[in-house]
Amino acid sequence: MALLAARTRGSRRTLPSEFELVARYFAPLSRAFPGAYGLRDDVALIRSSPGHELALKTDVIVAGVDFTPDTPPELIARKGLRVNLSDLAAKGARPRAYLLDLLLPDTIDEAWVAGFAAGLELDQAEYDVHLIGGDTSSTPGVLAVAVSAVGEVPIDRTLRRGGARPGDRLYLTGTIGDAALGLAAGRGELPQLDPRSTAFLMDRLRLPRPRVALGPHLIGLATAAIDVSDGLVADLRHLCTVSRLSAVIEAHAVPLSPAARAVIEADPAYLARALTGGDDYEILFTAPADAAPRIAELAVQCCTSIAAIGVVSAGSGGPAQVTVLGPGGQPMSFSTEGWTHFGGRSA
Amino acid sequence: MALLAARTRGSRRTLPSEFELVARYFAPLSRAFPGAYGLRDDVALIRSSPGHELALKTDVIVAGVDFTPDTPPELIARKGLRVNLSDLAAKGARPRAYLLDLLLPDTIDEAWVAGFAAGLELDQAEYDVHLIGGDTSSTPGVLAVAVSAVGEVPIDRTLRRGGARPGDRLYLTGTIGDAALGLAAGRGELPQLDPRSTAFLMDRLRLPRPRVALGPHLIGLATAAIDVSDGLVADLRHLCTVSRLSAVIEAHAVPLSPAARAVIEADPAYLARALTGGDDYEILFTAPADAAPRIAELAVQCCTSIAAIGVVSAGSGGPAQVTVLGPGGQPMSFSTEGWTHFGGRSA
């Protein structure tokens, strides 16, 4: 690609050629995956394990939209990869490989690319996933990272949004609201918060922890599941809409980190921010009431906390009803339920 | 994705929410592919046909780099998809599906998105390929389109860059240089060219014709193959490097369109531009000498011209030797062999 850019890019002096960059920094990330052909052919080949099918997901993160321009390249790389792995995990898929599209503005130098590749290498080791292809282009715009992740899942067993049944319990992995409150802290909204809590929340914003180890174990246990990225309330509504059910959750049962709890105790208005803020990358799932003992075992086995936060019930036939009972037992109202992309927040 | 952007995007008034855009314009493009779940779940599922494996390729096109800002949205969409289908075709893979990442600056309105989706719909019908997932984000930068295409190919039969053998003939589909000369025309370099030829060349730049129907038929016939996108000479060198061979091609045998021929007859200096310009999206392949009759039949069957342009021979052990014999039989020299991405052209 890039005929038009011959002159644009010809004047570029901050980076080696794309071929050199690929050979030096990206090809090594493909070496353990034979079908990637060392990134030296036109396509990558992948075969699913017997009895499995492939699960595909793509997500793009953009400077100034999804991360601040001062974010270290290692963290940009890892976030770009992890937000995709989170979707795979929520569907019960085991990650295998990914493709990478990288848009690099003129300000990017070779040290940045080296840091970016080092971040990918760390996460490849952590999640057993491999770079198998990609494209790198200069841009007159801003830095952007698009990842297309490939996982595999037993045939016809993937966790869908639409399988919940009336009476199922709602469960949530990890904690909610850390990223949203980390963003608030980064904007200087939380000057009273102790430095350790501030650092914890900002780290959670910058480096999601997708539930990759847990996800595949939910197959056969969960009836429906969704990745929580737009905000807990919004994603619960997505699940209920597809499952044609209503839901009631209790705010006090929603798991919070000690840091998030400290913020909300100091100013209860932040509870709504936590419940609707997004960027959590936890798994929200439903399971029958009698699955509770197995879920408790699974949490221990995968070293991931799993909290019961509510129940789903038959829908009304109209738009999905999602009720959040506040600390006093009364239904909470939100100025917005979560991130709605171009529409933004109504607040 | 997109916590940071809540405020950025909240002020956006030119577009409906991402959910509405997806429902209105993109979900219909997924309806014939059950594993896409109508773009209403976190991942898409895909299973290869028995005896096949999946081939993956991603490419990104960027405004001001790969297309001019005034390009109609239909053509941007189709080019973004087709450059990927060309890679699949060159490997013998049949296209099945694609993921789409779309970065939209504030200048984009709903009519643009409608046009973009209409372009995709045309090409889905033409190539029997389906949108199965994607991500749409606003950007403070420029428009960019990243496509990840999924094809399938019989297991262990894909066409590689590295399978050519000494004595094999070099073949090329279609014509070379039209896009590069179309770019020259668009820049006003070719004012003497007749309007019809100008329009033809510019159309070839804007709308590549990937050899999707032909590609799978090359399995069992071609010994090596590559998508010609960086420029004929550069891509021939890529093939020779991986195959560890040398090559000699004859410039007069390289197939040219009547329009390209007119440009070169008026000014022979444009021959080098045609041979190195890139954005051709043809297939360059090698085959044994005795395959010529079957290749001729295949060209008729697929309505695609295929020209014999030279031969490959044993390599020297050093860097691949690629010789282009000019109109007088003497080796041509090029200031650059093709598009080398960040490094640009040496000219």
Q: Are residues B142 and B187 in the same domain?
A: no
User: Cβ contact (<8 Å) for A183 and B3?
Assistant: yes
Determine, yes or no, domain membership for A1: no
Q: Are residues B247 and B307 in the same domain?
A: yes
Domain-ending residue, one of B127, B154, B181: B154
Phi, psi at residue A126, to the nearest 5°? Answer: -70, -35
Q: Which residues neighbour A132 within 8 Å (Cβ) at sequence distance 6 or greater?
A: A30, A33, A35, A36, A39, A44, A46, A97, A98, A99, A150, B56
CA distance A189 to chain B (A): 14
Q: What is the pTM of this model?
A: 0.94
Tens of pLDDT, residue by residue, chain B (347 residues): 444 444 333 345 578 888 899 999 999 999 999 999 999 999 999 999 999 999 999 999 999 999 988 899 999 999 999 999 999 999 999 999 999 999 999 999 999 999 999 999 999 999 999 999 999 999 999 999 999 999 999 999 999 999 999 999 999 999 999 999 999 999 999 999 999 999 999 999 999 999 999 999 999 999 999 999 999 999 999 999 999 999 999 999 999 999 999 999 999 999 999 999 999 999 999 999 999 999 999 999 999 999 999 999 998 888 899 999 998 899 999 987 765 544 343 33
Q: What chain A residue is nearest to B2 in terms of C-alpha separation?
A: A66
Chain A residue numbers with beta carbons less than 8 Å from the beta carbon of B160 are: 37, 41
Q: Are residues A150 and A176 in the same domain?
A: no
> What's the token pair of residue B331?
């080796």
Q: What chain B residue is nearest to A152 in terms of C-alpha separation?
A: B45
Strand partners, A154: A52
> What's the token pair of residue A173?
């992995």
Determine, yes or no, domain membership for A273: yes
Q: Are residues B126 and B200 in the same domain?
A: no
Q: How far apart are CA B29 and CA B83, in angstroms?
A: 19
Q: What's B61's domain CATH number?
A: 3.30.1330.10
Q: Are residues B132 and B191 in the same domain?
A: no
Q: Are residues B257 and B140 in the same domain?
A: no
Q: Are residues B309 and B245 in the same domain?
A: yes
Determine, yes or no, domain membership for B220: yes
Q: Are residues B128 and B185 in the same domain?
A: no
Q: What chain B residue is nearest to A57 in terms of C-alpha separation?
A: B43
Q: Are residues B127 and B176 in the same domain?
A: no
Q: Is B208 exposed, middle or buried (0-12, 13-18, 19+ CB in 10 A)?
A: buried
Chain B residue numbers with beta carbons less than 8 Å from the beta carbon of A10 are: 343-345
Chain B residue numbers with beta carbons less than 8 Å from the beta carbon of A87 are: 42-43
Q: What's B273's domain CATH number?
A: 3.90.650.10
A26, A148, A152, A157, best to mutate vs chain B, most B CBs in 10 Å: A148
From residue B162, alpha-carbon distances to A321, B52, B144, B169, B224 in Å are 58, 21, 32, 14, 6
CA distance B258 to chain A (A): 22
Q: What chain A residue is nearest to B37 in terms of C-alpha separation?
A: A160
Determine, yes or no, domain membership for A163: no
Chain A / chain B CB contacts < 8 angstroms: 344
Determine, yes or no, domain membership for B9: no
Determine, yes or no, domain membership for A75: yes
Determine, yes or no, domain membership for B341: no
Chain B residue numbers with beta carbons less than 8 Å from the beta carbon of A280 are: none
User: Cβ contact (<8 Å) for A148 and B151?
Assistant: no
Domain count, chain B: 2
User: Cβ contact (<8 Å) for A53 and B37?
Assistant: no
Q: Are residues B31 and B66 in the same domain?
A: yes
CA distance B36 to chain A (A): 9
Determine, yes or no, domain membership for B163: no
CA distance B57 to chain A (A): 5
User: Cβ contact (<8 Å) for B183 and A4?
Assistant: yes
Q: Is A112 exposed, middle or buried (0-12, 13-18, 19+ CB in 10 A)?
A: middle
Q: Are residues A148 and A173 in the same domain?
A: no
Question: Which of A1, A15, A45 has the CB atom closest to B229's CB atom?
Answer: A1
Q: Are residues B182 and B143 in the same domain?
A: no
As a whole number of angstroms, the longest Cα–Cα distance in chain B is: 65
> What's the token pair of residue B73?
């949205």
Q: Give the domain extent around A186.
A: 169-340
The residue behind tokens 């999804």 is: A66
Domain-ending residue, one of B154, B187, B212: B154
Chain A residue numbers with beta carbons less than 8 Å from the beta carbon of B40 are: 161, 242
